[in-house]
A and B are shown apart, each in its own frame.
Chain A
Amino acid sequence: MSPLEGQVRIPSGCAVSAMISRDGRRMNGESIIQSMIPMHDRSNGLGGGFAAYGIYPEYRDFYALHIFFNSKSAQAECMTLLKEYFEIVQDEHIKVRKMPQITDEPIIRRVFVSPMQSVLRHLQIDDKELVVRVVNRINAQLDGSYVFSCGKNMGAFKAVGFPEDVGRYYRLEEYEAYSWTAHGRYPTNTPGWWGGAHPFCMLDYSIVHNGEISSYDANRRFIEMYGYKCTLQTDTEVITYIADYLIRRQGLTLDETAAVIAAPFWSTIEGKSEADKAKYTYLRTVFPSLLVTGPFSIILGFNGGLMALNDRLKLRSMVVGEQDDMVYIASEEAAIRVMAPEIQNIWSPAGGEPVIVRVKEGAF
């Protein structure tokens, strides 16, 4: 049997797509599913997925865990563990639409949880850190359980299959989100595993990514010093951890984060103002191991916005479109034209230059 995710490093090509309303208007998943259809050939049916922000307004204060279980016993084991750390607010099936294109489905549950204050006090950590630790523990140590989404008021939906089928399977037309990201996968050496599909999430960060990064092991071995465990050995996973580490734990801004991941060349830095020179030099000096090289286009989703970023040589395609309050991002312009047929303003961002979109304050 071929090795699964986590047993071997898996490079893969992909398609990405995203749409976001800066006004915080919530839209159902129809449009984002449609956007993946013209990019069908960028996937090979071994993985598709979506992330949606703003979909659980009534549970916005709770962490929404989306979990795959291989068996009832695994589910029971996992729930026992969760109860040691969290109040279980709600535990339910994620509704799916049975279809021939999607097979081998695991048990798919959605659990809203709230960290127990006593635990936080005992461990001297904040609630986010607790979620990260527990999720890492489940994913690394509990056989048959895999948490694939764990943020607030957001969720990831993914499966083995083509992305448009995955969207239908999860009935995404029934969810309303102000920000959607999508991913179609083209892995080159795996039979495909549900957990290995994208997006990859950590707290409310979700990453969809197209590329194969050459810095992988340098990034992985660095980030693993800080409690992360790259169980999937995928680019998306490590980039998610890098984003979490830089944004949440180091407190870098999105721009600063982009300047670490896709650092400007020294020759570019030389030409900047003294203040910028000092800043960029500092970031490259302090976080050299988090520079990501090789081709990538990623879309980092988070509560209240998203950031799209290309590698600094722009070795992967990525286009951005803007119309009214909407911003669209995709591997191919065709995908954007599906979502917004009348769109005028489409451009291709330069390598290493982040495109950051934020929803109006208070609108999500």
Chain B
Amino acid sequence: MKKYVIIGNGVAAAGCIEGIRSADAEGSITVISAESYPVYCRPLISYYLENKTDLQRMNYRGESFYADHNAAVLYGKNAAEIRTDAKQIILDDGSSIAYDALCCCTGSSPFVPPMQGLDTVEKKFSFMTIDDTLALEKAVTPESRVLIIGAGLIGLKCAEGLHDRVRSITVCDLAPRVLSSILDDRCAAMMQKHLEDHGISFILGTSAKEFQGGHAVMQNGTEVDFDVLVLAVGVRANTALVKNAGGNVGRGIAVDDACRTSLPDIYAAGDCTEYHDISSDSVKVMALMPNAYMQGRTAGVNMAGGEAAFDNAIPMNSIGFFGFHCHTAGSQPEGCEMYEEADENHIKRLFVKDDRLTGFMILGTMHRTGIYTALIRNQTPLSSVDFDRLRIEPQLAAMGSAYRDKVLKGAV
């Protein structure tokens, strides 16, 4: 009977468990979970603050998931070391667990750059976990003025989550635009305007120089008074375990299409990894929930002796604030052409290079955008479809009747 061990208990871990069980009903599975909750998806924490979900519904796979999959979870434990020679994991309590196949789903941690006087701030929080969220929830009052450092996905979702619970929210970021990792200037401006319409203030293109209790001074001289500080500057992949065991690590743990690390019988999946983005043909950390699951599942299948590959990863994001949504996927490589269509409340930018759709940004109306995503993921030659129609409206009608017959007349 094979011994499977998974470090981490996020969505990648859940995918890994399901992957293992799809190929091996017998082997033992042990999950080492730092957090004391069954698997949940971290992006849900902002929805928790908005009251769109609660701790029970956040449970990703339901009450009996571990029992159904015959997996043991060690809650509140951290792996301290992987001993590849002995095929053992040493926990922080000193105990050890043997593995035949190991998957690292260690995720990422908030990254806080050094800022002067940060220690003088009384109420400061990260926004990554349920525990962060519960603490933040406790700290805020309807009179709170909140300063969020970071206008990325985490910072802005936090802003949305806190919106109805506090008096004011100011978001600052060194980047000159919001969501700088996924949006270009024009799209970011539309999103920023939308957020400002909901009362969120922005201080962009500068960073905090100094904190003095509830007072922050920016590099550009702007001063902000606040009661609660949220630090959402960025995250870093948790690579230490693999790195210390001698594995290849870049900005994340390096994995191949089968989610194998460079170490024997050690796999990795999720936010802790870096892997190939086919839309830009480069290796990236793509800390995305869908990819985390698919990597986890791929790793699980392979760990259990099956064969699986996750070889068409692309970055993609679905994010929305106050009912205004944004879908992005892929990348905008050098020299790509852009098709654009826009009005006051809606923008669509499609990026095309070498007869392929490489990426898009769509704000406002999210209708059937997955058809575009599929074009990127499948690297469909645009000359094989009616792109003139397709770019106006995503539709199977423009994909040719053969494709349509395959999709609609058979099983897919």
In the complex, A touching B (Cβ < 8 A)? no
Chain B residues with CB under 8 Å of chain A are none
